[in-house]
């Protein structure tokens, strides 16, 4: 091959290779699109169990088991027979009260004689009273959720009701049979009024307030009788007994009506009772020792005023919010510095 032919062949090869080189250069200068990261991301795998199997999938919210059980008055029933935590004390209270009522009414009517007829009457009254009390209370608690305050304070209210009925009837007659029946009926009314009017879910503060009213009615009744007695007006033993039996019912009724408007906390009630009893007892003791005896009305008047003042002071001026300070910093100004349940 001649040199001319070789040079022409080399030129032809170079001309054919130039478009490919340009395309390669153009491709190298173009921006490269980043790869799709979603296709590169892998989902984490659940750990294998000892048996080499995957753990079961978590149940969905709709598949989660729900709380089973019968609902009564918005609460889960306490048991198949007892409806609430206070049902047992409620049933025992009415059963024992019915048994005692049947025993004493029949025993007093027969003079507690040991004759066969008297013993049969007392036995029949005891069994019949216990059966009726058990049946009625069991039926009531089966359809009404009974809380603990209801079971406990019902006992105290039945005692207050029995005392009030006995004192009231004693002012009208001295028949012991009538007094026995009046006490039994009053105790039943006190217990059942608590269950029906106050409700089977009696709040703790309401129960404490009514019980405090009964206690303070008894204390203030005794102080007033002592003031009148040592002021020169003699009071008979019957008047003492009737008054002390009636005044707890008056005090409990007054504070039961007060629960319709006021709602003090259990701490407020307990604190007022402690301060009232403590101040009243100290004032009575000191004034009696200083004045030379308790056969004069002044110590009892001072004790009455001192206990009432202590109760009013701690009830109105003790701010419970100060015992639980909040975070530092003053909030917006308020028209009243405290909130009180009494106004």
Q: Is the CB of residue 215 less than 8 Å from the CB of residue 274?
A: no
Q: Is the CB of residue 141 less than 8 Å from the CB of residue 82?
A: yes
Q: Closest Cα to residue 85, out of 133, 139, 149?
A: 149
3-state SS track over 121-180: HHHHHHHHHHHHHHHHHHHHHHHCCCCHHHHHHHHHHHHHHHHHHHHHHHCCCCCHHHHH
What's the CA dihedral at 119, 186, 228, 306 to 10 degrees? Answer: 120
**Regions in the chain scoring below 50 on pLDDT:** 22, 24-28, 30, 62-66, 329
Q: Which two tokens stand for residue 232?
A: 């020169």
Looking at residue 226, its pLDDT comes to 95
Transcribe 249-269 into DSSP letters: HHHHHHHHHHTTT----HHHH
CB atoms within 10 A of CB 60: 7
Q: What are phi and psi of 316, to 5 degrees?
A: -95, -30
Q: Is the CB of residue 232 less than 8 Å from the CB of residue 295?
A: no
pTM beyond cutoff 0.75: no
Transcribe 191-245 into DSSP letters: HHHIIIII-TT--HHHHHHHHHHHHHHHHHHHHHHHHHHTTT----HHHHHHHHH
pLDDT tens per residue, range 248-292: 999 999 999 998 888 888 989 999 999 999 999 999 999 999 998
pLDDT tens per residue, range 39-78: 555 556 655 555 555 555 555 554 444 456 678 777 788 8
d(CA 73, CA 77): 9
What's the CA dihedral at 151, 157, 161, 167 to 10 degrees? Answer: 140
SS3 call for 75 = strand
Looking at residue 14, its pLDDT comes to 58
Q: Is the CB of residue 272 less than 8 Å from the CB of residue 308?
A: no
Whole-angstrom CA distances from 8 to 12, 224, 244 are: 6, 144, 142
Q: Which two tokens stand for residue 145?
A: 């959720």
């Amino acid at each position: 091959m001649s040199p001319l032919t070789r040079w022409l062949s080399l030129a032809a090869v170079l001309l054919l290779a130039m478009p490919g080189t340009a395309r390669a250069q153009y491709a190298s200068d173009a921006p490269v699109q980043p790869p799709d990261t979603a296709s590169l991301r892998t989902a984490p795998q659940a750990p294998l169990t000892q048996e080499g199997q995957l753990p079961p999938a978590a149940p969905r919210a709709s598949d989660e088991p729900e709380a089973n059980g019968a609902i009564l008055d918005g609460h889960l029933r306490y048991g198949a027979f007892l409806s609430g935590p206070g049902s047992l004390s409620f049933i025992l209270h009415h059963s024992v009260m019915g048994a005692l009522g049947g025993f004493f009414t029949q025993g007093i009517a027969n003079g507690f004689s040991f004759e066969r007829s008297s013993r049969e009457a007392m036995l029949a009254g005891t069994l019949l009273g216990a059966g009726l009390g058990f049946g009625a209370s069991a039926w009531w608690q089966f359809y009404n959720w009974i809380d603990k305050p209801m079971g406990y304070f019902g006992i105290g209210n039945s005692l207050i009701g029995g005392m009030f009925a006995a004192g009231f009837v004693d002012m009208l007659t001295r028949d012991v049979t009538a007094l026995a029946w009046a006490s039994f009926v009053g105790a039943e009314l006190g217990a059942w009024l608590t269950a029906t009017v106050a409700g089977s879910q009696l709040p703790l503060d309401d129960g404490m307030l009514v019980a405090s009213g009964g206690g303070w009615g008894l204390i203030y009744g005794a102080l007033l009788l002592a003031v009148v007695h040592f002021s020169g007006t003699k009071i008979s033993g019957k008047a003492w007994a009737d008054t002390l039996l009636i005044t707890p019912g008056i005090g409990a009724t007054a504070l039961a009506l007060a629960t319709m408007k006021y709602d003090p906390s259990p701490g407020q009630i307990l604190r007022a009772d402690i301060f009232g009893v403590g101040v009243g007892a100290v004032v009575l003791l000191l004034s009696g020792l200083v004045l030379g005896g308790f056969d004069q009305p002044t110590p009892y008047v001072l004790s009455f005023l001192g206990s009432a003042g202590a109760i009013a002071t701690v009830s109105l001026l003790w701010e419970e919010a100060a015992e639980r300070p909040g975070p530092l910093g003053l909030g917006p100004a308020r028209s009243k510095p405290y909130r009180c349940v009494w106004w």
